[in-house]
Amino acid sequence: GGGSEEGSGDGGESASSGDENINIRFAHEEGQGDVQDLYVNEFKNRVEEQTDGRITVDVYTAGTLGGNSDMFTQLQTGAIDFAISSPGFTGTIIPQTQIMAVPFLFSDNMEVNKKVLDESEALYGTLAEKYEEKGLKPFKFWLEGFMYWTANKPITEPEDMKGMKMRGMPTDLIMESYRQMGADPQGTDSGEIYTMLQTGGIDGQENPLFYIYSSNFYEVQDYLMDSKHHIYTTVTVANSDWFSTLAEEDQTLIEDTIQEVNDWSFTMQQEEQEKAMAEIEKSDIEIIELTTEQRDAFKELSAPVRDAYVESGGEGAQEILETIEADIEAAEEELN
Amino acid sequence: MSKKLFLNKPGGEESMNVFDRIDRVWSKIEMTVLSVTTILMSLMLVGNAVSRYFFSRSWGFSEEIGQLAIVVLTFMGIGYAARKGMHIEMSGFFDLLPKKFQRILRLFIDIVSAAVMIFVSYLAFQYVAHLQEIGQVTTILRMPVYLVMAVVPLGFFIAFLRYLTDFIVNITGFRGKTES
Amino acid sequence: MTLWAIMAILFIMLFLNFPIMIVLIATGLIMMMTMAPHLDYIVFVQQMISSVEAYVLLAIPMFIFAADIIVRGQTANRLLDFVRDIIGHIRGGTGIVTAATSTLFGSVSGSSQATIAAIGPPMRNRALQYGYKDSHIMGLIVNSAGIAILIPPSIVMIYYGMLTGTSVGDLFIAGVIPGIFIFLGFALYEYIIAIRRKIPVEPKTTWSQRFKSLRGAILTFGFPIIILGGIYSGVFSPTEAAAFSVLYAFILEVIVFREVKVRDLFPIAASTGVVTSIVFILLAAGGAFSWIISYLRIPQALTETVLGNDPTQLQVLIIMSLFFLVSCMFVDSLVAIAVLTPIFFPLASQMGIDPVVIGILVTMQATLGTVTPPFGVNIFTACAVFNKPYMEVVKGVFPYIIIFMIVNVILILYPDIIIAYRYIF
Ligand code: NA
Ligand code: NA
């Protein structure tokens, strides 16, 4: 038994030609069939097909190798080679990544967000360096859709948010942003969200649509707010030592494939949102789309979080924030 | 159970007294750590729940302290439980063996356990060094993670000392018995 | 080959009476060194730590602490006196009440281990006074606490629902019927055993006696109110309810009954800490052990070998149940589900098996896995909480496991029973 003893391509001999058999261990944070899983499997299929199986990819879904921060360490120590690692979970190690926790930073035009995530110097210059310092090579940032609010009452103006027990990812910037919006933020463990929503222990939560659907939160909530207050961003990373031992052709092949999958993922995530929305619409949850004025009211309230980011984001945070803000503005001008 | 019998072995009075004294003081320290951690954890969780429902304000840090406390309890308790022979084992087959074999086997178990514990302690030490190197902090309090995780190698190291002590005590006791 | 040799070492070490913690750590590390030598071994330590860090686990030491306090005080006795006066004259009553209480408590706390910690000690004390055999009553507690996972709320079902996109609401409803079946099986067994072993009954009490013990016990009803009421009304999460039961135990025993002094709390807390450590170091070692198994993709390799091509629906259900059962014996059920669900779910659902059926069968195996020797977290917890040797706890679990198994086999053979609720509601 156990036909899995061959090590991955970390033999150490720096092969210069791309003819070595390579097994890539690729982990992500989501369940089977979720957006990240589709992304990684697309990468697997393309790479395996292009190399006729010379390069193989083992996909590890959420939980099989531990939680998010576990995955990060395993990537650093080379236990896994590749991962989808969301900045939301890495703020404790790379504080600069908390930029992705600032609400209302991104545009309500998804094309703008796509362009910025694909190109911004803030991400591929300063922020990428911070990843490199921790032994990781970030390839591409990409997105998994707008974040939505769910609750048992409509949330359209700051008054509605007042005193609400709102669940967000338990990081200090996200907690702070809900405090600024007047809510009583909760860092409820993700395994407890469903029960707490059902029993009313928390009043609402935020997540991308496909996750609200796959985790069944819509079953226990009355209202879904299309608030566009945030997008869920993530990044494809590799262990940089491992990556540098690969033959140059293989490095290029992998980088090109990631770029292809990244472009593909933009349409894919849109389709996943649409599928999720179609299913959610079949339930009796009421869907409310926030107007620009309504969004702006929340945006104004949460503005101080940007200062909080500069303060706790470590060296280079200010630069990252300013660059990305400028890039978003430029992209909006170009595309709107 | 058989462990307790061995500890009452005769001989080596002088050295045992020093041994005993260190042992007693150390057990006290362990008990204090465990007890304070448990109480702190209760205060945090109760405090958070009270604050949440009566004052509509959550203590973000209470969950975090609770989770760190559980790490402290888990690893700081190993040594004490080893000393008291409280770790769970499947004793069925062992109990059927003749006393003499039980003693030899007990020696073997103690020395292997000691070896495993010192090795894991070393790995845990490396892990803590890694945490220090990457400078990871806790989510809410932004406290260096390695400071808390230092209890992990420490806990395993104490367990190593416990098993080693048991081994030494038992092997001298065993020799005394066979010689007489 | 290597894998089988390591498994052999594991069982030999267990037999030779090594602490289970040492066995899991040693074999896990050997597996890592021989089968994945390129790994940085600190991952092993990291996995041990993160296996105990889960927030939901915090409820366990809290319930242990609350139980430790009330066992030294009067709460437990007052409550049990009341129960005795009401049903003590019924044959098998104590056993049935133990099963019912464990099931109920387990169903809300969502954690079998917390259930054993919280109500195990008082239940066991009283049953011993009534002439029950210790291993019998421990076996009963270990198993009825296991029902916790089947009856909502259930973390296992929520997790499965998340991984597969199955409605958690449907899973919750579907779990109730098998849960009740098993409880009824236990109750029937208790009744029969009480008659066969001639376990004495208490004389029937007068209504004035009952009223008196009700008055004595009235404050202790705060516990079920806090826990059941608190969780179901959404005032508390299970973890918070556990913390509140510590507060309530403190108020009752230290301030109202004054049986426990403030300074007594320190040794009580220390003992809670040790018991927690004994249980949690096994969770930690088991977590690291299962990490290396899933890293090496051993389940995937085994399934391919075992299932072959073109299996029937029944074969898939049987093999799937076996895999989940064996895995849940060794590792935490959530880890087993994370590893195995992606392997079996697509296969089973493509064959037209209802996702709810798969989910309930998976949950059944998770439940069974916690109560079955050689590895079972509930057994370990009982050893630690009751301070009893492993063999004595294990001796009593078999009759209940057989009842579990009967229900399990019926559900595998007639999976339509699981979705029968759709015709009822
Ligand atoms: Na439950
Ligand atoms: Na088991």
Q: What is the DSSP string of A133-202?
A: HTTEEEEEEEEEEEEEEEESS---SHHHHTT-EEE--S-HHHHHHHHHTT-EEE---GGGHHHHHHHTSS
Please indicate if any CB of chain C lies within 8 Å of the CB of A264: no
The verdict on residue C281 lying in a domain is: yes
Angle value at C-alpha C270, between C266 and C272, nearest 5 degrees: 115
Q: How far apart are CA B133 and CA B110, in angstroms?
A: 34
Predicted local distance difference test score (pLDDT) of residue C424: 66
Point out the ligand nearest to the CA of residue C172. Answer: 1
Core vs surface per residue C270-293: b (16+ CB within 10 A) or e: bbbbbbbbbbbbbbbbbbbbbbbb
Q: Between chains, do B123 and C235 touch, taking CB under 8 Å as contact?
A: no
Which residues on B lie below 8 Å from A134 (Cβ)? 134
pLDDT at position A281 over 90: yes
Tokens encoding C139: 């076996």
- Residue A77: count other Cβ atoms within 10 Å of its Cβ: 18
Please indicate if any CB of chain B lies within 8 Å of the CB of C20: yes
Which residues on A lie below 8 Å from B63 (Cβ)? 170, 187, 189
Q: What is the mean pLDDT of residues B74-82?
A: 93
Q: Between chains, do C273 and B81 touch, taking CB under 8 Å as contact?
A: no
The verdict on residue C326 lying in a domain is: yes
The verdict on residue B16 lying in a domain is: no
Q: Domain of B114?
A: 23-85+93-172
Residue A289: its H or E element: strand A286-289
Q: Between chains, do C297 and A4 touch, taking CB under 8 Å as contact?
A: yes
C219-243 pLDDT per residue, tens: 877 777 777 677 667 677 777 888 8
pLDDT at position B1 over 80: no
Residue A130: its H or E element: helix A128-133
The verdict on residue B177 lying in a domain is: no
Give, to the nearest 10 degrees, the angle between helix C134-146 and helix C377-386: 130
Core vs surface per residue A219-242: b (16+ CB within 10 A) or e: bbbebbbbbbbbbbbbbbbbbbeb
What backbone torsions phi and psi does residue A27 show, to the nearest 5 degrees? -110, 150
Which residues on C lie below 8 Å from A28 (Cβ)? none
What one-character DSSP code corresponds to residue A64?
B
User: Between A and B, how many residue pairs show a Cβ–Cβ distance under 8 A?
Assistant: 43
Question: With 0-12 CB in 10 A as exposed, 13-18 as middle and 19+ as buried, what is A139?
Answer: buried
Q: Which residue of B has its CA nearest to C394?
A: B90
Taking the centre of ligand 1 as the mean of its atom positions, its distance from the CA of residue C171, in whole angstroms, is: 12
Which pairs with CB-CB distance under 8 Å and at least 24 residues apart come from A40-48? A40/A84, A42/A261, A42/A264, A42/A265, A42/A268, A43/A257, A43/A258, A43/A261, A46/A257, A46/A260, A46/A261, A47/A253, A47/A254, A47/A257
| Most confident of the ranges A11-15, C36-40, C89-93 | C36-40
Is the model more confident about C352 or about C144? C144
Predicted local distance difference test score (pLDDT) of residue A209: 95
Q: Between chains, do C17 and B74 touch, taking CB under 8 Å as contact?
A: no
Is the model more confident about A67 or about C45? C45
Taking the centre of ligand 2 as the mean of its atom positions, its distance from the CA of residue A130, in whole angstroms, is: 45
The verdict on residue B10 lying in a domain is: no
Residue-by-residue DSSP string for C394-423: HHTTHHHHHHHHHHHHHHHH-GGGGGGHHH
Taking the centre of ligand 1 as the mean of its atom positions, its distance from the CA of residue C150, in whole angstroms, is: 6
Q: Which of residues 104-133 of A touch C (CB under 8 A)?
A: none
Q: What is the mean pLDDT of residues A288-316?
A: 94
Contacts (Cβ under 8 Å, ≥6 apart) of A275: A210, A213
Q: Which residue of C has its CA nearest to A79?
A: C39
Q: What is the mean pLDDT of residues A2-18?
A: 44
Predicted local distance difference test score (pLDDT) of residue C228: 66
Which residues on C lie below 8 Å from A2 (Cβ)? 2-3, 35, 296, 298, 301
Q: Between chains, do A216 and C167 touch, taking CB under 8 Å as contact?
A: yes
Which residues on A lie below 8 Å from B139 (Cβ)? 91-92, 170-172, 187
Q: Which of C272, C390, C391 sits opposite B38 (nearest CB)?
A: C272
Confidence label for A2 from pLDDT (cuts 50, 70 and 90): very low
Predicted local distance difference test score (pLDDT) of residue C115: 81
Q: Which of A45-54, C148-157, C390-399 has the lowest mean pLDDT?
A: C148-157
Predicted local distance difference test score (pLDDT) of residue B178: 43
Q: What is the mean pLDDT of residues A287-293?
A: 95
The total of structural domains in chain C comes to 1
Best A172, A188, A315 member to test B by mutation, with max B CBs in 10 Å, is A172
C271-320 pLDDT per residue, tens: 999 988 988 898 888 888 878 888 888 777 777 777 776 778 888 888 88
The per-residue pLDDT of chain A, averaged, comes to: 90
Predicted local distance difference test score (pLDDT) of residue C107: 67
C145-196 pLDDT per residue, tens: 888 788 877 778 877 877 777 877 788 888 888 888 899 999 999 999 888 8
Q: How far apart are CA C397 and CA C380, in angstroms?
A: 12
Best B70, B140, B147 member to test A by mutation, with max A CBs in 10 Å, is B140
The verdict on residue C11 lying in a domain is: no
The verdict on residue B118 lying in a domain is: yes
Q: How far apart are CA A177 and CA A221, in angstroms?
A: 22
Å from C235 to nearest chain B CA?
8
Q: What sign does the dihedral C406-C408-C414-C420 (CA atoms) show?
A: positive
The verdict on residue C305 lying in a domain is: yes
Taking the centre of ligand 1 as the mean of its atom positions, its distance from the CA of residue C151, in whole angstroms, is: 4
Q: Which of A77, A92, A186 sits opposite B138 (nearest CB)?
A: A92
Which residues on C lie below 8 Å from A31 (Cβ)? 162-165
Half-sphere exposure of C93 (CA within 13 A, CB side): 18
Point out the ligand nearest to the CA of residue C393. Answer: 2
Please indicate if any CB of chain C lies within 8 Å of the CB of A291: no
Q: Between chains, do C294 and A32 touch, taking CB under 8 Å as contact?
A: no
Q: Which of A238-247, C114-123, C259-268 has the lowest mean pLDDT?
A: C114-123
pLDDT at position C338 over 80: no
ipTM (interface pTM)? 0.81
pLDDT at position C324 over 90: no
Predicted local distance difference test score (pLDDT) of residue A269: 95
Predicted local distance difference test score (pLDDT) of residue B15: 54
Is the model more confident about B94 or about A226? A226
Tokens encoding B172: 């001298």
The total of structural domains in chain B comes to 1
Question: With 0-12 CB in 10 A as exposed, 13-18 as middle and 19+ as buried, what is A54?
Answer: middle
Q: Which of B52, B60, B145 sits opposite A175 (nearest CB)?
A: B60
Taking the centre of ligand 2 as the mean of its atom positions, its distance from the CA of residue C58, in whole angstroms, is: 22
The verdict on residue B5 lying in a domain is: no
The verdict on residue C65 lying in a domain is: yes
pLDDT at position B3 over 70: no
Å from C370 to nearest chain B CA?
15
Q: How far apart are CA C193 and CA C136, in angstroms?
A: 10
Q: Which of B56, B63, B130 sits opposite A184 (nearest CB)?
A: B56
Q: Which amino acid is at C422?
A: R
Inter-residue contact A102 to A177 (CB < 8 Å): yes
Q: How far apart are CA C382 and CA C389, in angstroms?
A: 9
Q: Which residue of A has its CA nearest to B128?
A: A73
- Residue B23: count other Cβ atoms within 10 Å of its Cβ: 15
Q: Which of C231, C301, C339 sits opposite A3 (nearest CB)?
A: C301
Q: Between chains, do B142 and A76 touch, taking CB under 8 Å as contact?
A: no
Which residues on C lie below 8 Å from A64 (Cβ)? 294, 335, 338-339, 342
Predicted local distance difference test score (pLDDT) of residue A4: 38
Predicted local distance difference test score (pLDDT) of residue A194: 85
Which parts of C218-332 fold into alpha helices (H)? 222-224, 230-232, 238-250, 265-295, 298-307, 313-330
Give percent helix, percent strand, percent coil of chain A, each to the nearest 5. Answer: 50, 20, 30
Q: What is the mean pLDDT of residues C82-101?
A: 81
The verdict on residue C280 lying in a domain is: yes
Predicted local distance difference test score (pLDDT) of residue B174: 53
The verdict on residue B29 lying in a domain is: yes
Q: Which of residues 164-193 of A touch C (CB under 8 A)?
A: 188-189, 191-192
Q: Which of C45, C387, C390 sits opposite B90 (nearest CB)?
A: C390
Predicted local distance difference test score (pLDDT) of residue C128: 87
Q: Which of A12-21, A88-97, C41-50 has the lowest mean pLDDT?
A: A12-21
Taking the centre of ligand 1 as the mean of its atom positions, its distance from the CA of residue A170, in whole angstroms, is: 25
Predicted local distance difference test score (pLDDT) of residue B177: 45
The verdict on residue C143 lying in a domain is: yes
Q: How many residues does chain A have?
A: 336
The verdict on residue B11 lying in a domain is: no
Q: Which of A185-194, A321-330, B140-149 has the lowest mean pLDDT?
A: A185-194
Predicted local distance difference test score (pLDDT) of residue B176: 45
The verdict on residue B130 lying in a domain is: yes
pLDDT at position C261 over 50: yes
Q: What is the mean pLDDT of residues B11-39?
A: 80
Å from A134 to nearest chain B CA?
7
Q: What is the mean pLDDT of residues A96-115?
A: 94
Which residues on C lie below 8 Å from A8 (Cβ)? 38
Q: Domain of C81?
A: 19-424
Residue with tokens 């303060």: A311
B partners (3+ CB pairs within 8 A) are A, C
Which residues on C lie below 8 Å from B32 (Cβ)? 266, 270
User: Between B and C, how many residue pairs show a Cβ–Cβ distance under 8 A?
Assistant: 195
Which residues on A lie below 8 Å from B136 (Cβ)? 69, 92-93
| Most confident of the ranges A64-73, A81-90, A177-186, B112-121 | B112-121
Inter-residue contact B109 to C17 (CB < 8 Å): yes
Inter-residue contact C383 to C114 (CB < 8 Å): no
Point out the ligand nearest to the CA of residue C111. Answer: 1
Inter-residue contact B85 to C288 (CB < 8 Å): no
Predicted local distance difference test score (pLDDT) of residue C125: 85
Distance from the Cα of residue C131 to its chain's centroid: 25
Q: What sign does the dihedral C49-C55-C57-C58 (CA atoms) show?
A: positive
B142-155 pLDDT per residue, tens: 889 999 999 999 99
Predicted local distance difference test score (pLDDT) of residue B4: 36
